[in-house]
Structures are given as structure tokens and as C-alpha cells.
């Protein structure tokens, strides 16, 4: 490799660094969407339920979310390149074990390990880019970063659909192996090491443990609430543990010397607004992608590849608009791109909520396009506003917190919308079937558990009666989906208000001297 070292100069190293980070980001984001189109095949192959499918998604996003701040902090302390490389290795190994998973439990365990690796990779990409680029070019660089994220989102469903249809759902994990090797090589020869010299070498393991218990308890309650009963002792206990855990976490983090979340970051309105918007946009996006993948394959009857292709309008629009939005945020500030973007997202979710029995893909195509425009306008300005609002030395922990809120939002989106979907769909099915069709209570319960499986059936029932049951199942699915999307509309509108009132209308950018002064002021000021 030494004979190629002349290609990397002090002048162009930042662009090589951007390329290396984008390569790793591509792999991480690919796994956010490539799995969705494979869910029906996984469901059939591993004989799993809707709750099992939710855990395949949330096992990844939850561990990702909980450890993101740790990954950011670890990079600040031990070196961002070291943390990034560690994350790539873990992610790649976990991808291999996911491909070989013999059961739903083994697959979920591998997905959790993937999340661990991604938690060290993701903050590294953004903090390394922030360190490599001066403030006046940072918006353009982050815009490119966001555009690559969108490219992965675009490629994921199509590539996943192709592999599921022509190879196996297991192949969607094997494709990470060569990308992981390339990312390690790129980091080794291109990326310069950087760290936060103002922090000690302590890691808040107690805070990590408390946060893990709190978030896992809440997600478990949301996913299993319909099965166990919302008034059951188990669900009530989990919610209580979550509330107590979150309160304890806040109390603890304000008193430790090396917290995984520095609450001093929240003194900036731009940062507060950005993390809330990050939560909301992921809540909506992950929920939409999860259920629409099931809808298109199991209700509209598309193959995995055909369903994947139909996600392209959203992801291609994101890919085009995200870099433009980054440059726009540099010129006019982040507020209005985010406000307009969240408004478009709200509109798209409202249109999705109007899905009916007679809807076709042509009916929902405008919703996909509008959603892509909204996400594209929001992602890059949101990230730029957050990273430019903090001292440069805090880039790692700041990006970790931002990404944590984004992933927690996605986790809660799948869990909360899944809970509402199951509740509303089962209620609709019970009212439709009632005591008719000669079904026992046990048969109706079994039928309800199959709602996401495409053509739900009951053993021993066939012919016209079976067709009526399938029609009732599809009607219940659409009813549940419509109500879940309606909830998303309200959440997205809240994001519009947050962006308007909290995020500044002018570009907030610190040069080196300002950042150093900010560090001094930060050390002297109490936590807001």
C-alpha cells in the first residue's frame, strides 16, 4: 500500500476521510432497510410472530441506541479511529453469525451484536468528519454523508428484495462482509486519529447499565403489551422499572465525572431541537418502512424484489435532496429547511393513513415521494445544527447523543406503532367476525395472530368461507395500519413545532477560537 501513499496529501486527506466514513455509513444504514423486505421470508422460515419480527428490528436498533453515547465517548477518550475500527470488526462478525442463524433467538442475538458494532461506528463517522473539515465546509461534507445514507436506504430494499427472491434472506447479512473489510483498510491508511484531550479515561458503565434496563423494559412492554395484557402485572412492572430507571439515570448522570450524556450539551437550543427532531423523524420513518414492507408483500401481493423497488421513490428523493439541504443550511440556517421538511413528512403520513381496501401502489406513490422530500430536507440541516452548536472537542459525545435519540426514536416507532397496530387490528377483526363463521374463541385468537402473514388461515376451513376470513384479515390489517399512521401524523406535527420554536434561523457555526472560548464557558457554567 505504501506505493499509493502519494495519492493521499494533506490537501485531499479530508475527502479521502469522508469517503472512508461514507463507506462504513453505507453498511450501517443498509442494514436499517435491507431487513424490512426480508421480514415475511424470515417469518415463514423461522416460524416467528409479529413480536418476533419486531425484535429482529428492535434488537439491532435498541443496542445501537443504548451504546451510541458510549461509542461517542469511547472515541473521544481512546481515539475515534480506534473506536470506529473496533465497531466495524464487531459489526462484520455479527453479520456473519446473523447469516447462519438457525432460530429467531439466534438471529435476534446477532442483530443485538450488530447494534453494538454500529454504536461504535456511527458516532465515529460524524465526529471524524467534523474534525477533518473546517466549519465553512462542514455542511457540504455532512450533506454528502447524509446523501450516502440515503443511497444505502435506496439500495437496501432493492438489493434485499433481489437477494431474498433469488438467493436467500441470509444473503442480506453476508453482503456486509466485503464492505466491512474495505472499511477497516480505509480507516487504517486514510483516517487520522483524533480524541478529546479535555476528558478523562473513565467510562460510565453504571449509566450504561441503568439506561439499558430502562429502555429495554419500556420497549419490551410496548412489544408484548397486546399479548400479555396492558393491565397485566408484567407490563405494569416493566413500565414502572423503565420510569424509575430513567429518573435514576438522569440523577446519576448529573453526578458522575464522565457521564455518557453530558447535559451541558443541552444548553444550546439548536442541539435540543435537533435531538428531538431526530427522535421524531426516526419514529415515523422506521414505523412506516416496517409496516409498508409487510403491507406491500402480504396485502398487495408483491414479491420481495417488487416491494423493494417500490421504496425507491422515497430513498432516491432523499439522496438527491439531502446534499442540497446541507448547503442550504450553511447559507440560511437550519430552521426553515427542517420546518418545511417536517411539514412534508406530516403530510405524507396523513396520506398513508388514508389507505383503504381498494388502494393500489399508484394511490400511495405520492406519499412515498413527499416522505422522501421531507426526510431529505430534514436530515442534513438537523445534523449540521447539532454539530455546529457544540465545541469541536465534544463532537464525539454530541454525535453519539444525536444518533442515540435517532435510534431510540426508530425503536419506539416500531414498538409503539406495532402495539397500536395489533390492538386496533384485533379489535377490528373481533367486531367483523363476532360470533359468525362458526369460529371458536381459540380460532379467532389464532387467526388474529396471523394478521401480518399475508393470507391468514384456520386449519380445516376452506373455500368461500376461507376467502371471507382472508378478506376480514386484510381489512383488519389495513385498519390497524391506518390508525398507526394517524398517530405518526400527530408525532410529526409536534416535530414541526419543535423545529420552529427551538432551532435558530441563522447558521450557528463556531470557528476554532469561538469553540475554545465555548469550552471555557462550558466548564464555568452550571448545567441548564
Contacts of 72 (CB under 8 A, 6+ apart): 123, 127, 396, 397, 398, 399, 400, 401, 403
Please indicate whether residue 516 or residue 30 has the higher confidence score (pLDDT).
30
Report which listed range, 124-128, 289-293, 376-380, 505-509, is most confident.
376-380
Where does 274-368 show beta strands of DSSP type E? Answer: none
Q: What is the pLDDT of residue 242?
A: 93
Q: What is the pLDDT of residue 499?
A: 92
Terminus-to-terminus CA distance in the chain, angstroms? 50
**Quick check: 512 pLDDT over 50?**
no
pLDDT tens for residues 367-392?
999 999 999 899 889 988 888 888 87
Confidence of residue 11 (pLDDT cuts 50, 70, 90): low
Least confident of 160-164, 359-363, 483-487, 509-513: 509-513
pLDDT tens for residues 496-505?
999 999 887 7
* Host H or E run for residue 168: none
Q: What is the pLDDT of residue 199?
A: 61
Neighbours of 478 (CB within 10 A): 19
Confidence of residue 21 (pLDDT cuts 50, 70, 90): confident
Q: What is the pLDDT of residue 279?
A: 92
Least confident of 6-15, 150-159, 188-197, 216-225: 6-15
Q: What is the pLDDT of residue 510?
A: 43
Confidence of residue 514 (pLDDT cuts 50, 70, 90): very low
- Give percent of the chain above pLDDT 90: 20
Please indicate whether residue 524 or residue 209 has the higher confidence score (pLDDT).
209
Q: What is the pLDDT of residue 227?
A: 75
Average pLDDT for 38-60: 84
Task: Give the integer Cα–Cα distance in Å for 381 and 421.
Answer: 32
**Among the CATH numbers 1.20.1250.20, 1.10.3720.10, 3.30.70.141, 1.10.8.420, which is that of 2-204+256-429+474-510?**
1.20.1250.20
Q: What is the pLDDT of residue 339?
A: 95
**Chain centre to alpha carbon of residue 149:** 11
**Quick check: 253 pLDDT over 90?**
no
Task: Give the integer Cα–Cα distance in Å for 387 and 23.
Answer: 21
Please indicate whether residue 437 or residue 113 has the higher confidence score (pLDDT).
113
Average pLDDT for 405-421: 86
Question: CA angle 504-508-514, nearest 5°?
Answer: 140
**Chain centre to alpha carbon of residue 338:** 18
Q: What is the pLDDT of residue 18?
A: 82
Confidence of residue 201 (pLDDT cuts 50, 70, 90): low
Contacts of 485 (CB under 8 A, 6+ apart): 288, 349, 350, 352, 353, 355
Burial status of residue 180 (CB atoms within 10 A of its CB: 0-12, 13-18, 19 or more): buried
Among the residues of 133-229, which ranges form H helices?
135-166, 171-174, 176-190, 205-228
Residues recorded for the chain: 528
Average pLDDT for 508-514: 43
Q: What is the pLDDT of residue 489?
A: 94
Burial status of residue 158 (CB atoms within 10 A of its CB: 0-12, 13-18, 19 or more): buried
Question: Please, what is the average pLDDT of the chain?
Answer: 80
**Chain centre to alpha carbon of residue 514:** 33
**Quick check: 3 pLDDT over 60?**
no
Q: What is the pLDDT of residue 159?
A: 86
Where does 313-460 show beta strands of DSSP type E? Answer: none
For the entire predicted model, the pTM comes to 0.76
Average pLDDT for 395-419: 81
Amino acid at each position: 500500500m505504501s506505493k499509493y501513499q502519494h495519492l493521499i496529501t494533506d490537501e485531499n486527506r479530508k475527502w479521502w476521510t469522508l469517503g472512508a466514513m461514507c463507506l462504513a455509513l453505507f453498511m450501517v444504514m443498509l442494514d436499517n432497510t435491507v431487513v424490512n423486505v426480508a421480514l415475511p421470508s424470515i417469518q415463514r422460515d423461522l416460524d416467528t410472530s409479529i413480536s418476533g419480527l419486531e425484535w429482529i428490528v428492535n434488537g439491532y436498533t435498541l443496542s445501537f441506541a443504548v451504546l451510541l453515547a458510549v461509542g461517542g465517548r469511547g472515541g473521544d477518550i481512546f481515539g475515534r479511529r480506534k473506536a470506529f475500527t473496533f465497531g466495524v470488526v464487531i459489526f462484520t462478525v455479527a453479520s456473519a453469525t446473523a447469516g447462519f442463524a438457525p432460530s429467531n433467538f439466534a438471529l435476534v442475538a446477532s442483530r443485538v451484536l450488530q447494534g453494538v458494532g454500529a454504536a461504535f461506528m456511527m458516532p465515529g463517522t460524524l465526529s471524524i468528519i467534523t474534525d477533518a473539515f473546517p466549519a465553512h465546509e462542514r455542511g457540504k461534507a455532512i450533506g454528502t454523508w447524509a446523501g450516502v445514507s440515503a443511497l444505502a436506504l435506496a439500495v437496501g430494499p432493492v438489493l434485499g428484495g433481489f437477494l431474498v427472491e433469488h438467493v436467500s434472506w441470509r444473503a442480506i447479512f453476508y453482503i456486509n462482509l466485503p464492505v466491512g473489510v474495505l472499511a477497516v483498510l480505509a480507516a487504517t491508511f486514510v483516517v487520522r486519529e483524533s480524541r478529546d484531550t479535555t476528558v478523562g479515561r473513565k467510562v460510565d458503565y453504571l449509566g450504561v447499565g441503568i439506561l439499558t434496563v430502562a429502555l429495554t423494559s419500556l420497549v419490551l412492554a410496548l412489544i408484548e403489551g397486546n399479548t400479555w395484557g396492558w393491565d397485566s402485572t408484567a407490563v405494569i412492572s416493566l413500565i414502572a422499572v423503565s420510569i424509575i430507571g430513567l429518573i435514576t439515570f438522569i440523577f446519576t448522570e448529573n453526578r458522575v465525572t464522565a457521564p455518557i450524556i453530558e447535559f451541558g450539551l443541552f444548553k444550546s437550543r439548536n442541539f435540543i431541537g435537533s435531538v428531538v427532531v431526530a427522535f421524531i423523524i426516526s419514529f415515523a420513518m422506521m414505523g412506516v418502512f416496517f409496516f409498508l414492507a409487510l403491507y406491500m408483500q402480504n396485502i398487495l401481493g408483491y414479491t420481495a424484489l417488487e416491494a423493494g423497488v417500490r421504496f425507491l421513490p422515497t430513498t432516491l428523493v432523499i439522496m438527491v435532496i439531502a446534499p442540497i439541504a446541507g448547503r442550504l443550511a450553511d447559507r440560511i440556517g437550519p430552521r426553515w429547511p427542517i420546518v418545511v421538511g417536517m411539514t412534508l413528512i406530516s403530510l405524507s403520513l396523513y396520506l398513508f393513513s388514508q389507505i383503504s381496501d381498494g388502494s393500489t401502489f399508484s394511490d400511495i406513490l405520492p406519499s412515498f415521494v413527499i416522505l422522501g422530500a421531507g426526510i431529505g430536507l430534514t436530515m442534513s440541516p438537523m445534523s449540521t445544527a447539532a454539530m455546529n452548536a457544540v465545541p469541536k472537542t465534544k463532537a464525539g459525545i454530541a454525535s453519539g447523543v444525536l444518533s442515540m435519540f435517532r435510534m431510540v426514536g426508530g425503536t419506539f416507532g416500531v414498538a409503539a406503532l406495532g402495539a397500536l397496530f395489533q390492538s386496533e387490528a384485533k379489535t377490528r377483526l373481533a367486531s367483523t367476525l363476532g360470533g359468525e363463521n362458526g369460529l371458536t374463541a381459540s380460532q379467532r385468537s389464532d387467526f388474529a395472530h396471523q394478521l401480518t402473514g399475508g393470507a391468514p388461515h384456520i386449519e380445516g376451513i376452506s373455500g368461500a368461507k376461507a376467502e371471507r376470513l382472508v378478506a376480514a384479515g386484510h381489512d383488519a390489517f389495513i385498519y390497524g395500519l391506518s390508525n398507526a399512521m394517524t398517530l405518526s401524523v400527530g408525532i410529526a406535527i409536534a416535530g414541526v413545532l419543535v423545529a420552529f420554536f427551538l432551532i435558530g434561523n441563522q447558521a450557528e457555526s463556531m470557528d476554532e477560537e469561538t469553540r475554545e472560548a465555548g469550552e471555557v464557558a462550558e466548564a464555568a457554567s452550571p448545567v441548564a
